[in-house]
């Protein structure tokens, strides 16, 4: 009876331990994504330093209403992200507490994760890595608010 009890206790401990780790990972990914949004909304670069890896590759497309078309592919390394965040909403005229702040997590693995952020500027598809037990954003693919979205499986 003791060996069976021991096996059950170990299995239960493993399951509960993995559930806690999984929940912590999901919350860590969400926190990194909200830090990313609030880096710009609050013009608070400390949030970027906390959740965006310095090797980030951020690339995307801005839609010009005036031209009626998207820009060529735009690149933004970490230093440009920091410089933009310092000034983008410093006066509070681009985003406020009612602005969209949506994070959808598509997948979290033990070292990588994928999420989608919807904010006032559009959408961002975010790749994250777990580095030293901390979730960090390493890639962002973004665009201005889309004219359409097709969801497929």
pLDDT of the residue at 152: 77
Beta carbons of 29 and 105 less than 8 angstroms apart: yes
Q: pLDDT, tens digit, for every residue of 132-153?
A: 999 999 999 999 998 888 887 7
CA distances from 147 to 25, 55, 122 (A): 33, 30, 10
Query: Quick one: 6 exposed, middle or buried, by C-beta within 10 A (0-12, 13-18, 19+)?
Result: exposed
Q: Is-contact 138 129, C-beta < 8 A?
A: yes
- pTM as predicted: 0.84
The C-alpha atoms of residue 109 and residue 6 are separated, in whole angstroms, by: 29
Q: How sure is the predictor about 16, in pLDDT bands with cuts at 50, 70 and 90?
A: very low
pLDDT digits (tens, 9 = 90+) for 44-80: 999 999 999 999 999 999 999 999 999 999 999 999 9
140: closest CA among 80, 86, 87?
80
Q: Which residues, at least 6 apart from 92, have a Cβ–Cβ distance to it below 8 Å?
A: none
Structural domains in the chain, sorted by start: 2-143 (3.10.450.50)
SS3 category, 70? strand
Torsional sign, CA 47, 49, 52, 56? positive
């Amino acid at each position: 009876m003791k060996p069976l009890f021991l096996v059950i206790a170990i299995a239960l401990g493993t399951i509960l331990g993995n559930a806690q780790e999984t929940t912590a990972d999901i919350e860590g990914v969400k926190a990194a994504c909200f830090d990313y949004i609030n880096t710009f909304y609050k013009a608070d670069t400390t949030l970027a330093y906390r959740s965006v890896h310095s090797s980030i590759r951020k690339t995307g497309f801005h839609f010009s209403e005036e031209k009626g078309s998207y820009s060529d592919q735009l690149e933004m390394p970490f230093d440009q992200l920091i410089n933009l965040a310092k000034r983008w909403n410093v006066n509070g005229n681009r985003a406020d507490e009612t602005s969209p702040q949506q994070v959808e997590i598509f997948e979290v693995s033990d070292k990588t994760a994928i999420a989608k952020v919807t904010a006032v500027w559009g959408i961002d598809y975010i790749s994250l890595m777990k580095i030293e037990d901390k979730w960090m954003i390493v890639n962002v693919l973004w665009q201005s608010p889309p004219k359409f979205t097709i969801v497929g499986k």
